[in-house]
Amino acid sequence: MKKILILLIIMYPTISFSTENNKINKITKNLRCLICQGQSIYDSQSEFANSLKKIVEDKINENMTEKQIYKFLTDKYGEWILYEPKFNKNTYFLWLFPLAIFIFGGILIFKKKT
């Protein structure tokens, strides 16, 4: 069982949970509509969102990768536009805190067991 857990922890950063085939939908679902209240670009019908959808479509036609498109947009709008925060010095704590809780809890339980 410990092996399973270790395996999980190794898999942790690499897994992506997405069922989306369409690339435009996938990208626009991961973008925040900055002028709306908590909607993604994909879901929003605002002017801003509609223009951004066109931009993403253009960029895909220009053969930009998903990463390049995110880079293009964060250069203009900051990381606030991404729904999935990047893993960097600002977000180490965000990504690792739940993991730390999990390990800590595991230690508590197995110490009690033996």
**DSSP assignment letter at 38:** S
Answer yes or no whether residue 106 interacts with other proteins by CB under 8 A.
Answer: yes
Asked if 35 contacts 64 with a C-beta cutoff of 8 angstroms, the reply is no
Kind plus residue range of the DSSP H or E element containing 68: helix 66-77
**In the bound complex, what is the minimum distance in angstroms from residue 67's beta carbon to other proteins?**
14
Which one of residues 19, 61, 62, 67 is an interface residue with other proteins (CB under 8 A)?
19
**In the bound complex, what is the minimum distance in angstroms from residue 58's beta carbon to other proteins?**
7
Answer yes or no whether residue 10 interacts with other proteins by CB under 8 A.
Answer: no
What is the Cα–Cα distance from 70 to 26, expressed in whole angstroms?
Answer: 12
Which one of residues 2, 3, 38, 62 is an interface residue with other proteins (CB under 8 A)?
38
Q: Which of 24, 23, 43, 22 is nearest to 32 (CA)?
A: 43
Question: What is the four-CA torsion angle of 105, 90, 25, 99, rounded to 10 degrees?
Answer: -10
Give the residues lining the site for other proteins (CB under 8 A): 4-5, 8, 11-12, 15-19, 21, 25, 29-30, 32, 34-35, 37-40, 43, 45-48, 50-52, 54-55, 58, 74-85, 90-91, 93-95, 97-98, 101-102, 105-106, 109, 112-114
